[in-house]
Amino acid sequence: MPKPKYRNPFRPGAGHMPPYLAGRQQERQEFLRLLEQDVILENLLLTGLRGVGKTVLLDTLKPLAMQQGWLWVGADLSETTSLTESHITTRLLADLSVVTSSLTLDKRTVQHLGFGKPTKVERKLNFEMMSQLYATTPGLSSDKLKAVLETAWMVMRRQDARGIIFAYDEAQNMKDHSAKDEYPLSLLLDVFQSIQKKEIPFMLLLTGLPTLFPKLVEARTFSERMFRVLFLDRLNEEECREAIVKPVDKLPEKMSEESVQLAIRESGGYPYFIQFICREVYDVLLQHIGREVFIPMQDITRKLDTDFFAGRWARATDRQRDLLQVVASLSDCDNEFTLQQVSKKSRSVLDKPFSTSQISQMFAKLAEAGLVYKNRHGKYSFAVPMLGQFISRQGT
């Protein structure tokens, strides 16, 4: 089979770089400002709903940091990473070793048995050496980790690097486990606050869902002053248009203005939905070059429901779905809502309404399932973009 002459440029994957990154200039400028700090007073926290482009933005910040003379390490923070203090320590040392393993900690003279001259041996600051230093340092886990990081900077300051960015995605998975006397999140915050007070330029860059910042503050109240929080919102209309139009400049088929407006409206300004809708549209257009094509938005919406929303909706029990249906019936459900608003609405639409105490308990469970979250103002919001519209469609 001959290869297709034109390829669909849109990429609706998890964290995949879009063909054209629209918007986010203000966030990049704020990051560049933080890179100018001589003493790290502010770390960066990127937060927002799923599909808003946090991971993609994180990937674009790496070259900016490197251009400014910073080193970059990091990974995704899985739930396994936050099980114990030992796990988060291993994560940090493994990531740090990527940029330190070629550096020499010191040189030692070794006297071989038998005949032969003493030789000088270089000890590299690799993962094994840092793990050994961690194990032999007296004190608590935080004391040990601070000692390793301070030693690493003592060696690295001889280089030209301005500092290191420790960048971690999906950081909402981090949490303390008081029942097991394990405090990995508190350990992370305590250690970085301590070494930054010593003017060591190691900066944290965390990205995660809106549940992340309340977790940080709950673990350590000083987190409010430790982080510059940037909430990524949906793209405006002009940015949406650029994300739709610019990737297809060289393709023979273009979406009509009516179709562009439809894609902007149906995507709600969320980058993932733009990529998803446009991917489906151009799968059709590139198979019908030169012919007028109807954009099957109803079919695209049905596929989006199956691919993006259905798995999350399946986590809710029947009674929780009843509650979410009530929330979706609020006129401003895609912004924020209170317990009192939901309780009042339930009395008008349900035979068995919810009390505020019931709603509070159920929202806690729905937050664990990743469907709602409590924001900084004490109100609640959907944790999934355009979830209210999806829920409303389930009742039709």
pLDDT 10s per residue in the chain (396 long)? 445 567 888 888 777 888 888 889 999 999 999 999 989 999 999 999 888 889 999 999 999 999 999 999 998 888 888 889 999 999 999 999 999 888 887 655 444 445 555 555 677 888 999 999 999 999 999 999 999 999 999 888 877 789 999 999 999 988 888 889 999 999 999 999 999 999 999 999 999 988 888 889 988 989 989 999 999 988 999 999 999 989 888 777 777 888 888 889 888 899 999 998 888 888 877 776 655 556 778 888 888 888 888 888 888 899 999 999 999 999 888 888 999 999 999 999 888 899 999 999 999 899 888 888 887 667 899 988 888 889 888 865
Transcribe 206-273 into DSSP letters.
Answer: EEE-TTHHHHHHHH-TTHHHHEEEEE-----HHHHHHHHHGGGTTSS----HHHHHHHHHHHTT-HHH
Q: Which residues contact 362 (CB under 8 A, 6 or more apart)?
A: 319, 320, 323, 354
| pLDDT value, residue 385 | 87
Q: Which residue type does 395 have?
A: G
| pLDDT value, residue 340 | 93
**Residue 166 is inside which H or E element, if any?**
strand 163-169
Kindly state the tokens that stand for 131: 């793990």
Give the three-state DSSP class for 59: helix
Q: SS in 3 state form for 282-337?
A: HHHHCCCCCCCCCCCHHHHHHHHHHHHHHHHHCCCCHHHHHHHHHHHCCCCCCCCE
Contact status, residue 167 vs residue 6, Cβ threshold 8 Å: no
Q: Which residue type does 250 have?
A: K
pLDDT in tens, 18-28: 888 888 999 99
Alpha-carbon distance 320 to 333, whole Å?
A: 16
Contact status, residue 18 vs residue 11, Cβ threshold 8 Å: yes
pLDDT in tens, 29-39: 999 999 999 89
Give me the residue spans of the domains in the chain: 25-231, 237-311, 317-394
Kindly state the tokens that stand for 365: 């469970």
pLDDT in tens, 250-280: 777 777 888 888 889 888 899 999 998 888 8
Contact status, residue 199 vs residue 39, Cβ threshold 8 Å: yes
Contact status, residue 45 vs residue 223, Cβ threshold 8 Å: no
CATH 3.40.50.2300, applies to 25-231: no
CATH code for the domain defined by 317-394: 1.10.10.10
Q: How many helices (H) and strands (E) does the chain have?
A: 17, 9
Give the closest residue to 208 by CA, choosing from 223, 194, 195, 193: 223
Q: How distant, in Å, are the alpha carbons of 88, 96, 156 from that of 131?
A: 13, 11, 17
